[in-house]
């Protein structure tokens, strides 16, 4: 990972305000990084933090989750901040599970809540190059492994 991290910002509807508050609080730090976000979340971030350069993808249920997943599989993301609502059913829950699985497989740092996001952004590795121990070359540990 380079010093400038490639970060996707995603949130379930009921968590958008929490993610937006987190982004506002950390906007000074986030300006040095490349940001992507799904649909409505990206629009809200752009309005609230015009100093941030955020590339908006499609809305999550309309393909944005798959776009994020493709970025992970292509080695184009370092961190996924996906503030999830664990108490509500979501029609695209399979997409959420796929993002979690891909993040794990491709060694992408994943935060699903504000506390974990705080730990990531305050890590001494956040603003400098980082090589995960044991390789971490952006490829799955065993691409030929069968499920």
pLDDT tens sequence across 34-62: 999 999 999 999 999 999 999 999 988 88
User: Of 13, 65, 95, 142, which one is the catalytic site residue?
Assistant: 65
- Report residue 140's pLDDT band, with 50, 70 and 90 as the boundaries: low
Asked if 138 and 107 count as a contact pair (C-beta separation under 8 A), the reply is yes
> What are the domain boundaries of the chain?
6-121
Question: What is the per-residue pLDDT across 89-108, written as a single tens digit (0 to 9) for each?
Answer: 656 567 778 899 999 999 99
Asked if 52 and 35 count as a contact pair (C-beta separation under 8 A), the reply is yes
Q: Which helix (H) or strand (E) holds 7?
A: strand 6-11
145, pLDDT greater than 60? no
Using alpha carbons, list the distances in angstroms from residue 24 to 44, 117, 134, 144. Answer: 11, 13, 34, 42
Sheet holding 6-11, edge to edge: 54-56, 34-37, 6-11, 79-83, 109-111
Rounded to 5 degrees, φ, ψ at 79 are -140, 135
Q: Please state, rounded to an integer, the average pLDDT across all residues of the chain.
A: 88
Does 65 qualify as catalytic in the annotation? Answer: yes
Q: Class assignment of domain 6-121?
A: alpha beta
Tokens 């997943």 correspond to what residue? Answer: 69
Output the pLDDT for position 96.
78
């Amino acid at each position: 990972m380079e010093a400038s991290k490639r970060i996707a910002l995603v949130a379930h509807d009921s968590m958008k305000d929490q993610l937006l508050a987190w982004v506002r609080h950390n906007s000074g730090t986030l300006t040095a990084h490349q940001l992507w976000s799904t649909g409505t979340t990206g629009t809200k971030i752009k309005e609230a933090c015009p100093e941030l350069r955020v590339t908006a993808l499609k809305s999550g249920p309309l393909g944005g989750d798959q776009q994020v997943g493709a970025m992970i599989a292509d080695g184009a993301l370092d961190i996924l901040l996906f503030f999830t609502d664990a108490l509500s059913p979501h029609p695209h829950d399979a997409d959420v599970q796929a993002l979690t699985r891909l993040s794990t497989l491709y060694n992408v740092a994943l935060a699903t809540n504000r506390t974990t996001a705080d730990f990531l952004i305050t890590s001494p590795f956040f603003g400098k190059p980082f090589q995960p121990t044991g390789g971490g070359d952006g490829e799955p540990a065993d691409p030929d492994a069968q499920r």
